[in-house]
A and B are shown apart, each in its own frame.
Chain A
Amino acid sequence: MAKIIAARLLRLLATLFAVTFISFMMTKALPGDPAVAILGQDGIQNEELLLELRAELGLDEPIPVQYVTWLGNAVRGDLGESYINRGQSVAGTIGQRFPVTLQLALMAIIIALLLAIPIGVIGAYRQGKWQDQASSAGVQVALSVPNFVTGIFLIWLFAVKLEWLPASNWNRISDKGVIANLKTAILPATALALTQMAIFSRLVRSDMIATLQENFILSARAKGLSDRFILFRHALRPSSLSVATLVGINFGALLGGTVIIETLFAIPGLGFRLINAISQRDILVIQGITVFIATGYVIINTVVDLFYSVLDPRIRRS
């Protein structure tokens, strides 16, 4: 087991190095200049000022030198300061934004599971019947509609037409309480959840169909247990392993995949900050958030892999 963990950690480090290097080079390849973004129209009238600022930010150094400097600081836990919001540390920015994105991702997963499990179970139980066909059609729609389109529809329905929920922005629990927070979180979380729901429900359905053909299910039926009891107490648990794995992987992906939804709903999470940083060429913020998201994703995947190894001795042996 120790070997597996060591191997995974090595792979994690290699992945992070590759992520930081590639994202740094890609950001640098963009023709935008943070100094121009900082100076704006008034500032760029003065060429000397522009050159001075580029020197102050270290932008006049060769790109490999800039990367090595950044990496050296990063491994010591210093992700630097924002070029644009001077004085604001990148780590502080991440610390402030991450809870928002985390909440959205968690809520999206919970909503997705709450919808996916009954839909998947019903689809399997009524395989080939109208309930199965209707839920499959619904799932197909949810899979094929991009989440920002879902978001626009949800805003139109629940904010503009019904006026039940706010159309945008974020109420922090610390400022406005849980209910106000949930009011601003529910629509974006649902927009994120629907695609996940579709994927999860398909998986639950297919696993459940296989499980329902197992001998222990036939035995339970022979004992006269109710269908509902058999479905939810006997069949669901063995059908959930692959969904549990997928939840882990997709949760990691959601942390980095909220960019569009956060921008659409004007939610101050990591994704919204990342988009602003890209448009402002705030390179250290882009780097910091990218590395943070990548680290989260790789760690979650590593944990899922290890979890698999624990559950299945065949994987451990291989």
Chain B
Amino acid sequence: MNKRSLSKLLALLFAFALVAAACGGSSDADGETTDTTAGETETDTDEPIAAGEEAEGDVDTEVEEIEGERSYGGSIAVGLEAEAVGLRPWEDTCSSPCYNMMITVFDKLTDQALDGTYQPYLFETLEANEDFTEWVGVLRSGVTFHNGVELTAQSIADMFPIQQEGAAGAGGLSAANIIDVQATGDLEVTYTLSQSNSALPATLARAPVGMVFEAGAAAADPDGSANEPVGTGPFMIESRDLDNETIVVRNDNYWGVDPEGNQLPFLDQISFRPIPDEGTRLDALLSGTVDVFQTLRQGTIRDGRAARDGGEDIVMVEFQGNNVGGGMFNVLVPPFDDVRVRRGLTQMNSQENVIEALGGTGISLPGTQWFSPDSPWYSEKVAAAWPSFDFEAGSATLQEYIDDPERSDGKAPGESIEVELSCPPDPSLIAAMQVLEQTWTASGVVDVNLTNYDQQTHINYALGAENGFVGEHGAHCWRFSSDSDPASDINPGFAPPTAEIAEAAGIPDVVSPLNFANYFDGEVFGAAVAALQTDDFDERYALYESIMLKIAEDVPIWYSGHTATAFGTNPAVMGLTGWHLPSGDIGIGIPAVEGRWHEVWLSN
């Protein structure tokens, strides 16, 4: 071939590339996509919402039994939002990306069913004494760790001292009031608690306390365990290349079977890849670089839906749970120490516009409490009580404060109030903040100063370790709640925030740095404590409802929308929702996009 011909060929190839790019979609662009989202969920809005049912306007994927013949083998690549610092439940701080990896290696002692209740998992039974200060669990037999060590009650007892020394474990044990763990039989474990805790099963369903690791291996190589953890889970660590790829392979000796009796897991291998950029992660799925991607951003869900609706052969598996976005006022700092300011600003929060700025229109439901409309804990009464958007009423409420000669910020009557509104520098959060700024400023009585700090700084300002946990924040973007038992978030969230407040309340030993809004009310805290002294759902429901009603009255926090999260998948990836507990009951689905990978299979 002479050089002129070569030049022509190159030019032709380049032209082909451009034409192909302009016209092309994926090779399966004309194929039928499996739509498992909004439009297909069936709801009956006239009936009360029962646990696990979809609420009116809810837009997530219905969790249900998945039909289809299971097949064994194959591997998938999963694009995660971030890398896990380490995979030690007792030591490493863990969020959604990390949980996706940990959950393949470690089994949990309990897990959550679709109706939100907790069931034994590695435990076969779990029972409490009358005042919930002692819990006895019996492990299933015949379970072995990846290194061949048999799981016994002593294995759980041996985890306890390691958890006590662990950066994450010590706090987890303390929050759950666990003071001792003993093997009281070959398979019987007894937990002794310092105070009543009817929500212990929720603690046992998560790291740092509930994930079961082999204590001998952990003690022998504490640092190495970060990358080569040993659990009883359906997969075992094959290799871990930090910030690039973590590969887990099938555990052939896994104890679990699905309700049909099929040996789990189905897949041979999973490769987890951290891809921090939201756009690249979605592109990685669209290009086939990964088979599954996760997102906790409404804007990315919107883009994923658009790609699917535009003909890309992907499936969006969505979950909208209790986690709710918004912000908090530091109630120890003027002018937020006055409920009129908090209420006025909240009434001037147009949730609809904020959600739109977040890219969540048609995806995210406006929040009124710490529970989403399809949660069993959701309360219509609270929803009705929440100060929803009413600009005129909000302005009037603020004006009362502004005209008050005794106003707490020390300014002269008639002067504007100053609000420092701060969020991490995420583009969608900044857009949402600008909506708030415009609305608040439009009242003519509020001067807003927008600030952005990176995530760590943002948390540190709210934590305030340097000033007795008062914090240095004013109005601060935040997320609240989760799909765990309400006690997991409510109790630390509303306990006395500083030593002085705890002292004044007569409970000097109870200080919670996690009460970031610094809001303390004796009745609220009393209800939260009382909810740990009973396992009767109706009683607990009433207590949590009373807390949420008080929050709606005192508004230490404001809401935007419930956090929608999603996995986008190649259509061949099946079984992400509709996984089962050992009892055969269907599990809760994928809250916070934490997959249960043991029942995932590749369709033919």
The interface size bin for chain B is 35 or more
Taking the complex as formed, is B500 at the interface, i.e. its CB lies under 8 A from any CB of chain A?
no
Name the contact of A162 in the complex, choosing from B24, B241, B245, B513 (C-beta under 8 A).
B24
Could you tell me if B24 and A49 are in contact, using CB atoms closer than 8 angstroms? no
- Chain B 21-35 interface residues, beta-carbon cutoff 8 Å to A: 21, 24-27
Select the residue from B85, B91, B222, B290 with max chain A CB neighbours within 10 A: B85
Give A152 to B459 CA distance when docked, in angstroms: 31
Give A153 to B281 CA distance when docked, in angstroms: 14
Residues on B with C-beta less than 8 A from A247 are none
Name the contact of A41 in the complex, choosing from B93, B243, B275, B287 (C-beta under 8 A).
B93
CB distance from B172 to the nearest CB of A (A): 4
Minimal Cβ-Cβ distance residue in A for B23: A161
Total chain A interface residues with beta-carbon distance under 8 A: 53
Could you tell me if B454 and A32 are in contact, using CB atoms closer than 8 angstroms? yes
Name the contact of A167 in the complex, choosing from B168, B223, B283 (C-beta under 8 A).
B283
Minimal Cβ-Cβ distance residue in A for B285: A167
If the complex has contacts A38-B167, A167-B283, are A45 and B512 also in contact, measured as CB distance less than 8 A? yes
Interface stretch among A9-17, A194-202, A260-268? A260-268
Minimal Cβ-Cβ distance residue in A for B312: A160
Taking the complex as formed, is B277 at the interface, i.e. its CB lies under 8 A from any CB of chain A?
yes
CB distance from B38 to the nearest CB of A (A): 25
Taking the complex as formed, is B267 at the interface, i.e. its CB lies under 8 A from any CB of chain A?
no
Name the contact of A30 in the complex, choosing from B26, B27, B241, B457 (C-beta under 8 A).
B457
Could you tell me if A44 and B514 are in contact, using CB atoms closer than 8 angstroms? yes
Could you tell me if A276 and B83 are in contact, using CB atoms closer than 8 angstroms? yes
- Chain B 230-247 interface residues, beta-carbon cutoff 8 Å to A: 241-245
Give A30 to B458 CA distance when docked, in angstroms: 11
Residues on A with C-beta less than 8 A from B279 are 152, 155
Residues on B with C-beta less than 8 A from A31 are 453, 457, 460-461, 472
Minimal Cβ-Cβ distance residue in B for A157: B21
Taking the complex as formed, is A280 at the interface, i.e. its CB lies under 8 A from any CB of chain B?
yes
CB distance from A17 to the nearest CB of B (A): 27
Select the residue from B26, B224, B454, B472 with max chain A CB neighbours within 10 A: B454
Could you tell me if A169 and B457 are in contact, using CB atoms closer than 8 angstroms? no
Residues on B with C-beta less than 8 A from A50 are 465, 513
- Chain B 256-283 interface residues, beta-carbon cutoff 8 Å to A: 273-277, 279-281, 283
Taking the complex as formed, is A170 at the interface, i.e. its CB lies under 8 A from any CB of chain B?
yes
Give A281 to B85 CA distance when docked, in angstroms: 13
Could you tell me if A168 and B463 are in contact, using CB atoms closer than 8 angstroms? no
Taking the complex as formed, is A42 at the interface, i.e. its CB lies under 8 A from any CB of chain B?
yes
Give A83 to B170 CA distance when docked, in angstroms: 18
Minimal Cβ-Cβ distance residue in A for B307: A160
Could you tell me if B93 and A40 are in contact, using CB atoms closer than 8 angstroms? yes
Give A41 to B86 CA distance when docked, in angstroms: 16
Taking the complex as formed, is A39 at the interface, i.e. its CB lies under 8 A from any CB of chain B?
yes
Residues on B with C-beta less than 8 A from A169 are 244-245, 273, 275, 284, 289
Could you tell me if B287 and A167 are in contact, using CB atoms closer than 8 angstroms? yes
Residues on A with C-beta less than 8 A from B174 are 45-46
Give A159 to B282 CA distance when docked, in angstroms: 11
Give A152 to B284 CA distance when docked, in angstroms: 12
Interface string of B71-109 (1 = CB under 8 A from A): 000000001000101100001011000000000000000
Could you tell me if A43 and B93 are in contact, using CB atoms closer than 8 angstroms? yes
CB distance from A22 to the nearest CB of B (A): 19
Residues on B with C-beta less than 8 A from A280 are 85, 456
Give A263 to B83 CA distance when docked, in angstroms: 12
Minimal Cβ-Cβ distance residue in A for B271: A169
Give A38 to B511 CA distance when docked, in angstroms: 20
Minimal Cβ-Cβ distance residue in B for A281: B456
Give A117 to B208 CA distance when docked, in angstroms: 58
Chain A binding surface, main DSSP class: helix
Residues on A with C-beta less than 8 A from B91 are 86
Give A40 to B171 CA distance when docked, in angstroms: 9
Could you tell me if B170 and A85 are in contact, using CB atoms closer than 8 angstroms? no
Name the contact of A85 in the complex, choosing from B20, B26, B175, B226 (C-beta under 8 A).
B226
If the complex has contacts A86-B226, A159-B283, are A42 and B168 also in contact, measured as CB distance less than 8 A? yes
Select the residue from A42, A45, A88, A266 with max chain B CB neighbours within 10 A: A42
Taking the complex as formed, is A98 at the interface, i.e. its CB lies under 8 A from any CB of chain B?
no
Residues on B with C-beta less than 8 A from A44 are 171, 463, 513-514
Give A265 to B279 CA distance when docked, in angstroms: 10
Residues on B with C-beta less than 8 A from A272 are 243
CB distance from A168 to the nearest CB of B (A): 5
Interface string of A133-172 (1 = CB under 8 A from B): 0000000000000000000100111011111001111101
Could you tell me if B456 and A163 are in contact, using CB atoms closer than 8 angstroms? no
Could you tell me if A163 and B245 are in contact, using CB atoms closer than 8 angstroms? no
Interface string of B3-23 (1 = CB under 8 A from A): 000000000000001001100
Give A299 to B93 CA distance when docked, in angstroms: 39
Residues on B with C-beta less than 8 A from A86 are 86, 91, 223, 226
Residues on B with C-beta less than 8 A from A161 are 20-21, 24-25
CB distance from A45 to the nearest CB of B (A): 5
Taking the complex as formed, is B455 at the interface, i.e. its CB lies under 8 A from any CB of chain A?
yes
Could you tell me if B289 and A168 are in contact, using CB atoms closer than 8 angstroms? yes
If the complex has contacts A85-B85, A276-B243, are A40 and B283 also in contact, measured as CB distance less than 8 A? no
If the complex has contacts A42-B208, A162-B20, are A36 and B83 also in contact, measured as CB distance less than 8 A? no
Taking the complex as formed, is B492 at the interface, i.e. its CB lies under 8 A from any CB of chain A?
yes
If the complex has contacts A31-B461, A38-B93, A84-B85, are A166 and B454 also in contact, measured as CB distance less than 8 A? no
Could you tell me if A264 and B170 are in contact, using CB atoms closer than 8 angstroms? no
Taking the complex as formed, is B288 at the interface, i.e. its CB lies under 8 A from any CB of chain A?
yes
Could you tell me if B276 and A49 are in contact, using CB atoms closer than 8 angstroms? no
CB distance from B468 to the nearest CB of A (A): 9
Could you tell me if B286 and A160 are in contact, using CB atoms closer than 8 angstroms? yes
Name the contact of A33 in the complex, choosing from B20, B25, B224, B465 (C-beta under 8 A).
B465
Could you tell me if B21 and A162 are in contact, using CB atoms closer than 8 angstroms? yes
Residues on A with C-beta less than 8 A from B514 are 41, 44-45
Residue ranges of B at the interface with A (Cβ–Cβ < 8 Å): 17, 20-21, 24-27, 79, 83, 85-86, 91, 93-94, 167-172, 174-175, 208, 222-224, 226, 241-245, 273-277, 279-281, 283-284, 286-290, 453-457, 459-461, 463, 465, 469, 472, 492, 511-514
Q: 17 A-B contacts, Cβ less than 8 Å apart?
A: A32-B460, A44-B514, A45-B171, A49-B170, A86-B86, A87-B226, A157-B21, A162-B20, A162-B24, A163-B27, A163-B287, A169-B273, A264-B277, A266-B280, A268-B244, A279-B455, A280-B456
Q: A46-B171, A167-B284 are in contact. List 17 more A-B contacts (CB 8 A).
A: A32-B459, A39-B167, A45-B174, A45-B514, A49-B167, A50-B465, A50-B513, A152-B279, A166-B289, A167-B283, A168-B79, A169-B284, A172-B244, A264-B277, A266-B243, A266-B276, A279-B455
Residue ranges of A at the interface with B (Cβ–Cβ < 8 Å): 30-33, 36-47, 49-50, 53, 84-88, 152, 155-157, 159-163, 166-170, 172, 175, 263-268, 272-273, 276, 278-281
Q: Give me the 7 closest cross-chain CB pairs, A-B, nearest first.
A: A87-B223, A40-B93, A32-B456, A159-B287, A42-B171, A268-B243, A268-B244
